[in-house]
Amino acid sequence: MVLRSNSSSKRVNKNKQVAQPEIQKPRWLDAFLRNKFFEQCKDHPQRKNELNKYCIDCDQAVCQYCISLGHQDHITLKVYRHVYKDVVSIGTMDKYIDCSEIQRYKSNKRLVISLNPLPHSGSTSNNEASCNTCTRKLNEPNLYRYCSISCKVKAISPEPNDLVPAVIPDQNQNAPQEGMDIPTQERPEANAEFPRPRKRRRKGTPHRAPFF
């Protein structure tokens, strides 16, 4: 997901099917979305010391003390809380992925996007007002298609299992098993025509070639 787009300010027409480009996700993105933030750091269990940052170089959640003791020169992302969910600044995240069409929220005068779906008031049957992936309600459906980063990732980047057929046909499943009786009409030798013996003409009385 390294493509850049400036279409976030444009209105979205959900009735128009647009082919999504094939993209390559950053290697750390899946782990970042699965991580649990704002838990107490096990290495630094000080009071109110939470895992509120993510080290891209190490693929792990870290606290402020972790950074000062071993991640000073690493690339880190600051994670915030909004409606009891993890969010990240749109200005920071847009450096690494295309954040267009993802619902934006305002938290402490900062524009943020959610890592995973926010606890909205349930799903809606109106496709014009719901996330394309999780069908949760969107605040501005005319501008956005997805309510979170993970929803856009699921929509654009298919799972590996989606590219493999669910059932692989057995090439030998139609082959007759040993000991089974094959009907006469299915036997190839029953329908084959045997060549008839060639009739040879009987030789007559030999004659010499005439002399000139």
pLDDT at residue 54 greater than cutoff 90: yes
Give the predicted TM-score (pTM) of the model: 0.64
> Which of 38-42, 132-136, 140-144, 166-170 comes out lowest in average pLDDT?
166-170
> Which of 23-37, 53-67, 115-129, 171-185 comes out lowest in average pLDDT?
171-185
> Which of 51-60, 96-105, 156-165 comes out lowest in average pLDDT?
156-165
> Which of 94-103, 105-114, 166-175, 189-198 comes out lowest in average pLDDT?
166-175
What pLDDT, on the 0 to 100 scale, is given for residue 12?
57
pLDDT at residue 6 greater than cutoff 70: no
Cα distance from N-terminal residue to C-terminal residue, the chain: 98
Category of 59 on φ-ψ map: left (φ > 0), alpha (ψ -120 to 50) or beta: left
What pLDDT, on the 0 to 100 scale, is given for residue 185?
53
CB proximity list for 10: less than 8 A, separation 6 or greater: 143
Residue 7 per-residue DSSP state: G
What is the average pLDDT across 183-203? 52
CA distances from 171 to 137, 167, 174, 175, 176 (A): 47, 12, 7, 8, 12
Q: What is the CA radius of gyration of the chain?
A: 35
Distance (Å, whole) CA 29 – CA 158 = 14
Q: Which amino acid is at 138?
A: L
- Per-residue pLDDT tens for 140-160? 999 999 999 999 999 987 665
Distance (Å, whole) CA 103 – CA 17 = 19
Distance (Å, whole) CA 190 – CA 46 = 87
CB proximity list for 181: less than 8 A, separation 6 or greater: none
- Per-residue pLDDT tens for 82-118? 988 999 999 999 999 999 999 999 999 899 999 999 7
